[in-house]
Chains A and B, each alone.
Chain A
Amino acid sequence: MQTVNLTDTVDRTFMEKVMEESGQVLSQCYQCGNCTASCPYTFGFDIPVSRVMRLVQTGQKKAVLESSSIWLCASCTSCTTRCPNNIDVACVMDVLRHIARREGFVKERRVKAFFDSFLDSVRKHGRVFEIGLMVDYVCKTGRFWTDMDLGPKMLPKGKMSLRPHDIKGKDAIARIFKRFEEENK
């Protein structure tokens, strides 16, 4: 079992930052384990969600931000729905991803690459361009065989447009992203 040395790894500002950004009172988590029991991804997590909560409570910044779990959380909100103390656990997982992204912690590179390709597509066209997103993802990760088998299933059905769906307001969308970056410099 993983043990944590609390004498020299406690980062209280990290805990406070997660509380502030998520708006959740983390001390209310009493480790009942409902979130972990409900989480469909527990089998794939390196740290189960209730332990993520405990590690945040004890200010274990590095252990939390270096985990796979925060990137694999699918935002299914089972944890939030079933928390007996009304903690929005899925929101806490979101905030942990925000902080990890800002501070350069990325355990699941492919997940982040997919999210980035998705957002780049929105930024460029105003709406997601699915084929463009996949090409971008493959370029970012070098995984050229990703879902190659699905192409022949979808293309004959005309389900994937070969052209982006640019909207008139695509510049307005690009400005949202630009301002966001300036705000968060």
Chain B
Amino acid sequence: MSKLSYAYYPGCSGQGTSMEYEASTRGLCEALDIELKEIPDWSCCGSTPAHACDHVLSAALSGRNLALAADMGEDCVLTPCPSCLTNLKNAGRHIAHSDDFKAKVNKLLDEPINEVPDVKSVLQILFEDLGPEGLKDKILKPLKGLKVVTYYGCILTRPPKLMEFDSEENPISMDELMKAAGAEVLPFPLKTECCGASHGVARKDLVMKLSGKLLDMAAQLGADAVVTACPLCQMNLDLRQGQVNQANKTSYKLPVFYYTQLLGWAMGLPQAQLGLDKLCVDPMPALNGIAKKEDAA
């Protein structure tokens, strides 16, 4: 198979709160021979604050990045972050389908947009282009006995007409990749329920309830860990887990991994590349548990 290569949009949180997602995504793709060509001088997509303010402004912020990717000669942009993904896809779709909208966006930009590249998540490429089968022979340390729930968050596959990936009600891409890596994937009925999203700062009370529900269910199912693909979901469940415990009088210590970290671990990537030390809830008891279950078997 020829080497897969894409324009790459890391997203702002990858330089801060989700730096372990960024590091493990890069490490994983390198090990799988997928080339990520970072869009030079990419800027923020504006996330929810931009589309909640104005759709043309939001599309201009995303559009600048799409135009830079097109200038690189790339026809597909990859991003690990579902929020960036939604904004880039939405902007691309509206610019491509409406000349009137495109003209409004171009009015805000220094250079008008010509071509609009396709946008996909890193997860989509791993699942559709590489596939769980393509991963299997790279697994050196299977995640044997590790019971996980996969949490996709709201917008990775929804709305389906825009995202065009996996199922909007019961997505399975992360499940299949985790199974290929040897983990036991528990049926999680809250796969696409909202964690509270970006209201953690302004309305923490509401996020405590929503993220609390997710942790309650994961714990009730007997999961050793939660696996996510979204920096905001991961932050609400991991960084805020102490706050959730305090608000709901619980005492969870559930590690919340990015799927890229667990796949990288199973492929034997160096720990520094996986950023496991950046997680707030200590992931080592769960990971050491795998080795113990191996010994016992």
- If A74-B154, A128-B44, A159-B19 touch, whether A94 touches B51 (CB-CB below 8 Å) is yes
Query: Which residues from B are CB-within-8-Å of A111?
Result: 199, 202-203
| Chain B 192-214 interface 0/1 with A at a Cβ cutoff of 8 Å (1 = within) | 11101111111111100110000
Whole-angstrom distance between the Cβ of A33 and the nearest chain B Cβ: 18
Q: Counting CB contacts under 8 A, is B222 at the interface? A: no
Q: Counting CB contacts under 8 A, is B239 at the interface? A: yes
Say which one of B57-65, B123-131, B173-181, B248-256 lies at the interface with A.
B57-65
Query: Which residues from A are CB-within-8-Å of B49?
Result: 114-116, 118-119
Say which one of A5-13, A49-57, A177-185 lies at the interface with B.
A177-185
| Chain A 152-174 interface 0/1 with B at a Cβ cutoff of 8 Å (1 = within) | 01100111110001011110110
Query: Which residues from B are CB-within-8-Å of A113?
Result: 202
Q: Counting CB contacts under 8 A, is B243 at the interface? A: yes
Q: Counting CB contacts under 8 A, is A40 at the interface? A: yes
Contact A43 B43 (CB under 8 A): no
Interface size class of B (residues with CB under 8 A): 35 or more
CA of A157 to CA of B110, assembled, Å = 38
Query: Which residues from A are CB-within-8-Å of B201?
Result: 110, 114, 134, 137, 146-147
Contact A130 B158 (CB under 8 A): no
Q: Which residue of A lies closest to B192 (CB)?
A: A78
Q: Which residue of A lies closest to B232 (CB)?
A: A74
Contact B278 A157 (CB under 8 A): yes
| Chain A 73-111 interface 0/1 with B at a Cβ cutoff of 8 Å (1 = within) | 011111011000000101000100110010000001011
The SS class assigned to the A binding surface is: helix
Chain A contributes a number of interface residues (CB within 8 A of B) equal to 59
Whole-angstrom distance between the Cβ of A97 and the nearest chain B Cβ: 5
Q: Counting CB contacts under 8 A, is A176 at the interface? A: yes
Q: Counting CB contacts under 8 A, is B32 at the interface? A: no
Contact A176 B57 (CB under 8 A): yes
The A-contacting residues of B in range 11-67, CB under 8 angstroms, are 12-13, 15-17, 19, 41-44, 46-57, 60-61, 64
CA of A181 to CA of B198, assembled, Å = 25
Contact A177 B57 (CB under 8 A): yes
Contact A165 B15 (CB under 8 A): yes
CA of A177 to CA of B49, assembled, Å = 13
Query: Which residues from B are CB-within-8-Å of A177?
Result: 57
Q: Counting CB contacts under 8 A, is A122 at the interface? A: yes
| Chain A 10-21 interface 0/1 with B at a Cβ cutoff of 8 Å (1 = within) | 000000000000
Query: Which residues from B are CB-within-8-Å of A98?
Result: 52-55
- A: residues with CB less than 8 A from B are 40-41, 43-44, 72, 74-78, 80-81, 88, 90, 94, 97-98, 101, 108, 110-111, 113-116, 118-119, 122, 126-128, 130, 134, 137, 146-147, 149-150, 153-154, 157-161, 165, 167-170, 172-173, 175-177, 179-180, 183-184
- B: residues with CB less than 8 A from A are 12-13, 15-17, 19, 41-44, 46-57, 60-61, 64, 107-110, 154-155, 158-160, 168-169, 192-194, 196-206, 209-210, 239-240, 242-243, 277-278, 280
The 10 closest A-B pairs by CB, nearest first: A76-B154, A115-B49, A74-B197, A110-B202, A40-B194, A118-B49, A128-B12, A76-B194, A122-B44, A114-B202
Other 15 A-B pairs with CB < 8 A, given A40-B193, A176-B64? A74-B194, A74-B199, A78-B192, A80-B158, A97-B53, A113-B202, A114-B49, A114-B198, A134-B201, A149-B242, A150-B240, A168-B41, A172-B64, A175-B110, A176-B61
